[in-house]
Amino acid sequence: MLILYQTQLTKKINLASNVYLFEFSLIEPKEISFLAGQYLILLVPSKGETISRLYSIASPPWQKNSFELVVELIEGGVGSTYLKNLKIGDKALFKGPAGMFTLKETSKNKVFFATGTGIAPIRSMIMESQKLEVKSQKFLFWGLRKKEDVYFLDEFKKIKEKDKNFEFKICLSKETSLSKVESDFFSLGHVDYVFEKELFPKIKKTIFDFEFYLCGGRVVVESLRQFLLQKNIPQSAIFFEKF
Ligand SMILES: Cc1cc2nc3c(=O)[nH]c(=O)nc-3n(C[C@H](O)[C@H](O)[C@H](O)COP(=O)(O)OP(=O)(O)OC[C@H]3O[C@@H](n4cnc5c(N)ncnc54)[C@H](O)[C@@H]3O)c2cc1C
């Protein structure tokens, strides 16, 4: 059953160009329970009616009194304009949590493919995976265009320092060169290209020990899903959310 959450905006941080992190603190009920990967439905008041927009929860499930969203504000978009105009202290209504794109508590190794703000539910999953009893290897391939689009780099570096089973590569599709230092965390090209080049040869023989989590724009996620199916990865090992 979906719960109605009364919230208040407590943080609004510009992460990169038109991408923002929003933190909403819960007023009533005071806590939220959800599974890493789920989304909330933002109720947007518009011309006397209510319009719904879905946003994945970017914070981990153990953060209970507030939650975070990572949103790309689209020029003229209904949800985007509402969020753009929301000021610290303003109230907002959400329903949820909802969605089947959730982190599976299996011992399988996990490959995460995110593009753009598709990182939101995957950030929650990666944070949650730090707390799981079952340990597995986790690889994140996150597609962005340019260096200036990057955020959460320090955060993922910190997770990597603590968790030797976590590796990540930010895949920049519109850059042409990287310094040697940058190459530790960045690669040039789209996520599928970087995965194919840097990880697939190493895990090919044990591919059935892996599960795959895909999130981002509709077209990209579908093409990534096809890419994995062509590699004979079973459909049952591919979980995805299309924005
Ligand atoms: C399950 C789920 C979870 C989601 N989670 C997130 C999330 O965590 N973060 C996030 O940023 N978004 C997320 N989305 C997308 C989000 O729900 C909205 O679709 C998005 O914010 C645009 O809504 P809007 O009301 O601002 O624009 P709309 O008023 O719906 O659209 C305005 C115009 O912009 C176009 N448009 C819509 N989206 C885009 C886009 N991405 N790029 C360019 N043009 C576009 C539309 O075609 C339309 O012409 C999620 C979607 C789903 C289905």
pLDDT digits 0-9 by tens, 13-34: 999 999 999 999 999 999 999 9
Q: What are phi and psi of 193, to 5 degrees?
A: -65, -45
* pLDDT tens digits for range 33-56: 999 999 999 999 988 999 999 999
Helix spans in 30-177 (H)? 78-85, 119-129, 153-162
Segment 130-155 mean pLDDT: 94
Residue nearest (by alpha carbon) to ligand 1 atom 47: 77
Could you give the CA distance from residue 220 to residue 226 in angstroms, rounded to a whole number?
10
Q: Does domain 3-98 have CATH number 1.20.1270.360?
A: no
- Sole residue written with tokens 């990540």: 168
Residues with CB under 6 A from ligand 1: 39, 53-56, 69-72, 74, 76-80, 99, 117, 120, 241, 243
> Which residues of the chain does CATH 3.40.50.80 include?
109-242
Distance 181 CA to ligand 1 centre (A): 34
Domain with CATH 2.40.30.10 in the chain: 3-98
Question: Cβ(38)–Cβ(56) under 8 Å?
Answer: yes
Beta-strand runs (E) in the chain: 3-16, 19-28, 39-46, 49-56, 66-72, 91-98, 109-115, 138-144, 166-172, 186-188, 210-216, 238-242
109-242: CATH number: 3.40.50.80
For residue 243, the CA-to-ligand 1 centroid distance in Å is 7
Q: Three-state SS for 223?
A: helix
Tell me the percentage of the chain whose pLDDT exceeds 70.
Answer: 100
